[in-house]
Structure 1
Amino acid sequence: MDRQELGAFLRSRRERLRPQDAGLPTGPRRRTPGLRREEVAVLAHISTEYYVRLEQGRAPRPSAEVLAGIAGALRLTEAESGHLHVLAGTAPSRTGRHRRDVRPSIRTLLERLPQTAGFVVSATFEVLAWNDLTAALMEDFADLAPRDRNLARRAFLKPTLYGVSDVAEFRQHVVMELRSALARYPSDPEVTGLVEELRDGSPEFARLWARHDVEAPPTLKKTFRHPVVGDITVDCDSLTLTDRDQHLVLYSAPPGSPDAEALALLSVLGAEYVKASGHRK
């Protein structure tokens, strides 16, 4: 049970709610944003004293029933409710360190994908495996040390992110995923160290981290401003590899579209041509 993180998460969810969201009268002017603690306690059918202690990080571990009541009172989404249980220690959690080894079958699949850029990222956004089209579209990660293959570092600590159109949205996604990863791997130094590095090195990351959000809308399309073939808009699909807590990310384009033709051209040119042309992203 992570008492301090649990308390901070509960406060952030309570402060975002308006009384009318919970079916309560607005009443007189309020001194603080969101619902009052006593209002959440009433809605969750628990004592105000116990709820206050939860937010202050002083309460014992709540039961699953209590957490269900709090989740309902705070109007948590399914993802937020799951995160609440992880923080409270009532959900199965992974121990030790997150996995960085990719299944051989997934590596083979990447190479067999027709005109689709595909890559695998770890729970901390390190690019673990990729195919040739990904190297031509984004970067040849083979040229980088593992530390520099991290898309979270790239998003917050580097000046550019492959010319993508959704940098702000991707940054929000990174923060939310890292918050969930930290809850799953609280003793993994690579996870804790990355979060600390980004909080210290990026005011934007620190601002987003303080919001305690854990859910973002999926990215369905993305546009890359490529230095050789110009703008390419791709469909984005992210498949969860549950057994290793990794994601297989796929970028493709509708057959016959100009974007599909651009991907096909990149597939022919390859990453070596992009590098030889003097364009480094």
Structure 2
Amino acid sequence: MGLPAGTRRRTPGLRREEVARLAYISTEYYARLEQARAPHPSREVLAQLARALRLSDAERDHLHHLAGTPPGPPPGPSREVRQSIVDLLKRLPEAAAIVLSATYEVIAWNDLAAALMEDFSALPRRDRNLLRRAFLTPNEGGRRLYGVSDADEFARSAARHLRAAAARYPNSPEVTGLVDELRAGSEEFARLWAAHDVAARPALCKTFDHPLVGPVTVSCDVLDIADRDQQVAIYTAAPGSPSEEALRLLSVIGTQRMDVPATPGT
């Protein structure tokens, strides 16, 4: 937590001087804040206190309102996935499911999603972003974005959502940096950004062109996690369909590449 190790505590929680140290303010000033004897704290001090106390976004906003200082825009999109959502993904063995941040970074996934799309655990964080994947990654054999049938529509829709995210997080270096990178690296994205395209929506039914099992047609349902500004995308195949059999095969194959000859010793 940024505090030196100390003696064992009789009661849980931080001491007054520890909160002050973590918030980079004096203990005396923090005591006056607790006792309502100090002037209204600045937005910066409140932000430091929120970080020190590890407040959620809702708790942070409440702290600002209590202090009479309206909260500013969130510092950036949340990447923390609730444990209940992580558990949900694991309980969907017959569905591929991912969690997307406000910038379309894949921040959680289950095993079947990794088998259907790619092994996200093997990628650095920046390469898990579907916008980078759609606009900046060279197509492999004419397959854009895992060979999904609505790749162009998805890319346009994701660009539209990124514009909305940029408005919600105007002070986020992550968001502004991603926009600048995409505009500089993709003429298509630059055109979409300049055109303010708001019409495109990804299809609710799409087909993945998988290199091992062939076409996999799935329904796509998206659940919003409003308090984290995240989305859960769940891909399911029709019962009894060839695509359902393909997903079952992928659940067995996992992320191993059977189309690549094994190297000696493996």
Question: Shift of residue 237 of structure 1?
Answer: 0.8
Tell me what 2:246 maps to: 262
Tell me what 1:123 maps to: 102
- CA deviation string 1:103-122 (max 9, x = no partner): 01100110110310000010
Contact 1:100 1:128 in 2 (8 A): yes
Give the SS at the match of 1:233.
strand
Question: Shift of residue 248 of structure 1?
Answer: 0.2
**Matched residues, percent identical?**
60
Tell me what 1:191 maps to: 175
Tell me what 2:200 maps to: 216
Contact 1:116 1:133 in 2 (8 A): yes
Q: Among 96, 103, 111, which residue is 2:90 paired with?
A: 111
Structure 2: gaps of 5 or more residues: 1-70, 140-144, 262-266
Question: Shift of residue 95 of structure 1?
Answer: 2.0
Contact 2:97 2:112 in 1 (8 A): yes
Tell me what 1:41 maps to: none
**Where in structure 2 are the equivalents of 1:26-175 lying within 5 Å?**
94-160=73-139, 161-175=145-159
Contact 2:96 2:236 in 1 (8 A): yes
Determine the C-alpha separation between the residues in 1 that align with 2:206 and 2:102.
21
Q: What amino acid is the match of 2:219? A: D
Contact 1:179 1:214 in 2 (8 A): no
- CA deviation string 1:116-139 (max 9, x = no partner): 000001000110000000110000
Tell me what 1:278 maps to: 260
- CA deviation string 1:20-69 (max 9, x = no partner): xxxxxxxxxxxxxxxxxxxxxxxxxxxxxxxxxxxxxxxxxxxxxxxxxx
Q: TM-score, normalised by structure 2?
A: 0.67
Question: Shift of residue 94 of structure 1?
Answer: 4.1
Give the SS at the match of 1:210.
helix
Determine the C-alpha separation between the residues in 1 that align with 2:199 and 2:82.
27
Distance 1:227 1:95, change over 3 A: same
Give the SS at the match of 2:195.
coil
Q: What amino acid is the match of 1:220? A: L
Q: Give the alignment's Cα RMSD to 1 decimal.
A: 1.6
Structure 1: gaps of 5 or more residues: 1-91
Question: Shift of residue 276 of structure 1?
Answer: 4.9
Q: What amino acid is the match of 1:103? A: R
Considering fraction of residues, name the structure with more helix. 1
Contact 1:241 1:247 in 2 (8 A): yes
Contact 1:141 1:149 in 2 (8 A): yes
Q: What amino acid is the match of 2:226? A: T
- CA deviation string 1:161-182 (max 9, x = no partner): 1111112101111110000000
Determine the C-alpha separation between the residues in 1 that align with 2:72 and 2:168.
5
Question: Shift of residue 269 of structure 1?
Answer: 1.3
Q: Among 217, 221, 229, which residue is 2:213 paired with?
A: 229
Distance 1:218 1:165, change over 3 A: closer
Q: What amino acid is the match of 1:255? A: P
Q: What amino acid is the match of 1:151? A: L
- CA deviation string 1:193-240 (max 9, x = no partner): 000100010000001111113353342111111111001111011111
Q: TM-score, normalised by structure 1?
A: 0.64
Contact 2:73 2:170 in 1 (8 A): no
In the alignment, structure 1 residue 204 sits paired with structure 2 residue 188:
yes
Determine the C-alpha separation between the residues in 1 that align with 2:200 and 2:190.
17
Question: Shift of residue 277 of structure 1?
Answer: 3.5
Determine the C-alpha separation between the residues in 2 that align with 1:94 and 1:262.
44
